[in-house]
Structure 1
Amino acid sequence: MTAARIVVVGTGYVGLTTGACLASLGHRVTCVDVDQAKVARLSAGRVDILEPGLSELVARGLTSGRLTFVVGAREAVQDAEGVFLCVPTPMGAGGSADLRAVEAVTEEIGDVLPSGCALITKSTVPVGTSRRIREMVGRSDIPVVSNPEFLREGTAVVDFLNPDRIVVGSDDREAATWVGSLYEDLASATVICDAASAELVKYAANCFLAVKLSYVNSIAELCERLGADITVVTEGMGYDRRIGRSFLKPGPGWGGSCLPKDTSALVKIAESVQYDFGLLNSAIEENIAQRDRVVAKIAGAVGGTLNGARIGVLGLAFKAGTNDLRDSPALAVSSVLCALGAELTAYDPAVGGEIAGMTVVDDPYQVAKAADVVVVLTEWDEFKRLDWSYMAEQMDGDTVVDTRNLLDPQAILDVGLCWQGIGRPRVRREVNA
């Protein structure tokens, strides 16, 4: 492999992982950001993102000299062979992807890119964005390439260095092949295709996962109504290789930085070509319904009225292993509880500071103090290791609502509490006459 001169614009979750991992593969990488303080922290090896292995990769990249951090993209790109755009594409007005950051960077660097430099979108962008960027740059000597990321928060470094597949799309086949060669040291299938197909792959994959999660939450609701157990049902499903075991765990709904915005964006993309994507719309509606069902379950545990109820919340991040609160279902449920008058005390091992409407504490046992109910909303393993006997002593109520089916129901029963999960029979403590 020949080391390439790479610039990564954006040092957020995707950009920093991309830059550090490409440097670990031997490329010379310059990561660019507009935040001077952030660039200074990264240059000193301080990584704010909670992601296993990322701090170590950044430190090694800095020590080797293959990874640097600078402010300002215009100067940084002038000797680059490839420029990765890793800037935010959040949900915009009406649900479409907001491409202002992508367009701003394109306008900033378009006229100073060296001839032949590949301009590569790593951010999730709607179909047609490569064409739009090519028109904005207005140079036939600058190939535009789509190279979507498939990183899961909490395992991003592992995912990057051990990918299921690498997808590279461009109307310039030679440029797409060159971008694919940047990953040649990784053992992975590589899909070389046109730009539109590459852009759609990311949306198609994420939206399929969202549909799968909404489906399993619907099956969990049926389990509760029919007296079945979702853990048995999904075990039976998971042995089918056509279905697989992943994304078959029910919960308080799906969220995070990708699925909500990507499902909304694909619905808008479909509308732009006059296609009513009813299946995806239903998955989005089911996700909202799941949150409401969880709120109703918690209300039932405190007697039906949430106003004035004291609720202890375990978990705020959208999933374990990250401190990301973006579109967190845990936070969404908590916000509804607050709006309905509940008094929340919350703990998350990766989340601190102030959150409107609730008290955030730094000790998980504090959430149980005088609580009418304790609710598990994020699947942190440490919650399984809590002293639930002590938790029970602190509570005023007698129920744990486990929206992740994380805890051992018998262990909760043994300390004199009731346990209620998602799609599973409720376990009640026996009361002697």
Structure 2
Amino acid sequence: MRLTIIGTGYVGIVSAACFSEFGHVVTCVDIDANRIAEYNAGHVPIFEPGLGDLINRNVKGDRLSFTTDLAEGVKDAEAVFIAVGTPSRRGDGHADLSYVFAAVRDLAKLVPEGCVIVNKSTVPVGTASEVEAILAEVVPGKTVHVVSNPEFLREGSAIEDFLRPDRVVVGVSSESARKVMAEIYRPLFLRETPILFTDCRTAEVIKYAANAFLSVKIAFINEIADLCETVGADVKGVAKGIGMDRRIGNKFLNPGPGYGGSCFPKDTLALLRTAEQANAKLRIVQATVDANDDRKKEMARRVIAACGGSVEGKTIGILGLTFKPNTDDMRDAPSLVVIPELQKAGAKVRAYDPEGRPAAEKMLPDVEFVSNAYQAVEDAAAVVLLTEWNEFRALNLDRVRGLLRNPLFIDLRNVYEPEDMARAGFHYISIGRSPAGPKEAVARPAAVTAA
């Protein structure tokens, strides 16, 4: 089939590359001439493991192309996917749909009769109806079908998520649209991937409800971690124990400094604003947003407390800046709260991230950015592990301890084990577990044998 993707940001380019991998002929359209030029030159401006190879393979196979010419890009399209940004609107937290609606107005007169316009962008409930109203206004009498097809891509694992998803959600309002979407996703039907066809409003709510629920799980385990620290339990064991219950599941039960990224923060806010408009109360989601905002500030307070109650004039080494590993995305990353809070308290911050530096340099002033983890910790009063990149999982601990001014290691991702860090000579602080140090007893309790 001939498909067009409007917008070559994260969702757009991953979708385009994967659809072309299915065998469809895909044209990507973007108003950003510089970005299109980069793609046409073989450069991928977005970091996602495996994406560059996937794009290059399908460009060479004549299944994937890039243009700024909207009319040329959609002239033979059987389906057009809108994958433009829907950021939180300043002031009220509503999803900004101006880019979506502008794309629809531009498309209306250009798409062929019977074309399917697919909302791939994350949009609030009722957006498909608004798109239909715009089409009726701009091209009255023209048959254009509107579909809601939300994405469920994890940054760092997006290609695997697209090619081997848990499910595909498709909201349709006509049988013609349903047939087109079934053909587009036919390669997944052959793999027996669950394809859920529903109405557009239900599909729109599914996307927000899924992200809100995962956000709730993260906020929940963070609060359980706080309890574990108070009562002397180990949150890793607690998470494992409750995660073995199939009704709960073991995903998103890793405590840390709070969620960030391009989805959870803006989607929970947008869902709250939608609920307000509908006079529906989402108390759990509101509590999750509040808890997550405070969580990031609390992490800075913990670092300061670990440093004896003051970081004035002290250098703090930061490992990891992006909101998660395997991405260069800095949006709503915990580092954007933790580092400024430390700076306000008088700390000097030296930081390293394998991919996030270009974006971080624009967002975090007065930070000394360095080229590796060991430069970050040299002569620092403490090291703070903020993002669990793989290269931070096997640090030369003797070298780290020797470079630090004080052997204080604050692990906000629970990458290391307290016993191992104590034996390595660190005063080690993690999340939801008792602190460990070289002079502390760190042996595990003996196993209890049943009588």
In which range does the TM-score fall when normalised by the shorter chain? over 0.9
Q: Report what 1:262 is aligned to.
A: 267
Q: Which amino acid aligns with 1:183?
A: Y
The reply to whether residue 6 of structure 1 matches residue 3 of structure 2 is yes
The reply to whether residue 135 of structure 1 matches residue 133 of structure 2 is yes
Give the one of 116, 119, 124 matched to 1:118.
Answer: 116
Q: Which amino acid aligns with 1:423?
A: G
CA contact (8 A) 2:168 2:195 kept: yes
**In 2: Cα distance, 1:100 partner to 1:336 partner:** 34
Q: Report what 2:404 is aligned to.
A: 395
The alignment partner of 1:268 has SS state of helix
Q: Which amino acid aligns with 2:218?
A: L
**Where in structure 2 are there 5+ consecutive unaligned residues?**
441-451
The reply to whether residue 98 of structure 1 matches residue 96 of structure 2 is yes
TM-aligned CA deviation for residue 76 of structure 1: 1.4
TM-aligned CA deviation for residue 330 of structure 1: 2.6
Single out whichever of 308-317 and 336-345 deviates more from structure 2. Answer: 336-345
**In 2: Cα distance, 1:23 partner to 1:204 partner:** 29
Q: Which amino acid aligns with 2:385?
A: V
What do you get for the CA RMSD once the two structures are aligned?
A: 1.3
The reply to whether residue 380 of structure 1 matches residue 378 of structure 2 is no
Q: Deviations over 1:66-89 (max 9, x none)?
A: 100001323311221100000000
Q: Which amino acid aligns with 1:386?
A: L
The reply to whether residue 346 of structure 1 matches residue 356 of structure 2 is no
Q: Which amino acid aligns with 1:173?
A: E
**In 1: Cα distance, 2:156 partner to 2:85 partner:** 19
Q: Which amino acid aligns with 1:385?
A: A
Q: Which amino acid aligns with 2:228?
A: C
**In 2: Cα distance, 1:425 partner to 1:173 partner:** 58
The reply to whether residue 287 of structure 1 matches residue 292 of structure 2 is yes
TM-aligned CA deviation for residue 180 of structure 1: 2.8
TM-aligned CA deviation for residue 115 of structure 1: 0.5
**Where in structure 1 are there 5+ consecutive unaligned residues?**
none
The reply to whether residue 238 of structure 1 matches residue 247 of structure 2 is no
CA contact (8 A) 1:74 1:108 kept: no
Aligned pair in 2 of structure 1 residues 62, 252: CA closer, same or farther (>3 Å)? same
Q: Deviations over 1:23-74 (max 9, x none)?
A: 1111110001112121122112211221122111101111110100001323
Q: TM-score, normalised by structure 1?
A: 0.96
**In 2: Cα distance, 1:60 partner to 1:13 partner:** 18
The reply to whether residue 76 of structure 1 matches residue 73 of structure 2 is yes
Q: Report what 1:46 is aligned to.
A: 43
**In 1: Cα distance, 2:97 partner to 2:366 partner:** 32
**In 2: Cα distance, 1:346 partner to 1:125 partner:** 35
Q: Report what 1:85 is aligned to.
A: 82
CA contact (8 A) 1:5 1:27 kept: yes
Q: Which amino acid aligns with 1:65?
A: D
Give the one of 309, 323, 330 matched to 1:325.
Answer: 330
**In 1: Cα distance, 2:235 partner to 2:338 partner:** 21
Give the one of 151, 155, 160 matched to 1:149.
Answer: 151
CA contact (8 A) 2:317 2:384 kept: yes
CA contact (8 A) 1:31 1:70 kept: yes
CA contact (8 A) 1:123 1:148 kept: yes
CA contact (8 A) 1:402 1:419 kept: yes
Q: Report what 1:252 is aligned to.
A: 257
Q: Report what 1:56 is aligned to.
A: 53
Q: Which amino acid aligns with 1:248?
A: L
Single out whichever of 331-340 and 412-421 deviates more from structure 2. Answer: 331-340
User: What number of residue pairs does the alignment pair up?
Assistant: 428
The reply to whether residue 191 of structure 1 matches residue 196 of structure 2 is yes
Amino-acid identity (%):
41
Q: Report what 1:20 is aligned to.
A: 17
Q: Deviations over 1:230-281 (max 9, x none)?
A: 0111111111010111000000000100000000000000001111211100
Give the one of 359, 375, 386 matched to 1:366.
Answer: 375
TM-aligned CA deviation for residue 12 of structure 1: 0.7
TM-aligned CA deviation for residue 334 of structure 1: 1.6
The alignment partner of 1:95 has SS state of coil
Q: Which amino acid aligns with 1:100?
A: S
Single out whichever of 301-310 and 158-167 deviates more from structure 2. Answer: 301-310
CA contact (8 A) 1:317 1:331 kept: no
The alignment partner of 1:404 has SS state of coil
Q: TM-score, normalised by structure 2?
A: 0.93
Single out whichever of 381-390 and 188-197 deviates more from structure 2. Answer: 381-390
CA contact (8 A) 2:297 2:337 kept: no
CA contact (8 A) 1:28 1:67 kept: yes
TM-aligned CA deviation for residue 300 of structure 1: 1.0
Q: Which amino acid aligns with 1:110?
A: A
Q: Deviations over 1:275-297 (max 9, x none)?
A: 12111000111112221221121
- The aligned runs of 1:160-175 (5 Å cut-off) are 160-175=162-177
**In 2: Cα distance, 1:275 partner to 1:371 partner:** 50
TM-aligned CA deviation for residue 21 of structure 1: 0.6
Q: Report what 1:413 is aligned to.
A: 422
- The aligned runs of 1:265-276 (5 Å cut-off) are 265-276=270-281
TM-aligned CA deviation for residue 412 of structure 1: 2.3
Q: Report what 1:309 is aligned to.
A: 314
Q: Deviations over 1:285-329 (max 9, x none)?
A: 111222122112101111112332211000001001111101111
The alignment partner of 2:196 has SS state of strand
**In 1: Cα distance, 2:319 partner to 2:3 partner:** 42
CA contact (8 A) 1:335 1:357 kept: no
**In 1: Cα distance, 2:366 partner to 2:265 partner:** 23
The alignment partner of 2:203 has SS state of helix
**In 2: Cα distance, 1:207 partner to 1:254 partner:** 11
**In 2: Cα distance, 1:408 partner to 1:222 partner:** 19
**In 1: Cα distance, 2:341 partner to 2:182 partner:** 45
TM-aligned CA deviation for residue 350 of structure 1: 1.1
Q: Which amino acid aligns with 1:27?
A: H
**In 2: Cα distance, 1:396 partner to 1:107 partner:** 60
CA contact (8 A) 2:93 2:273 kept: yes
Q: Which amino acid aligns with 1:361?
A: V
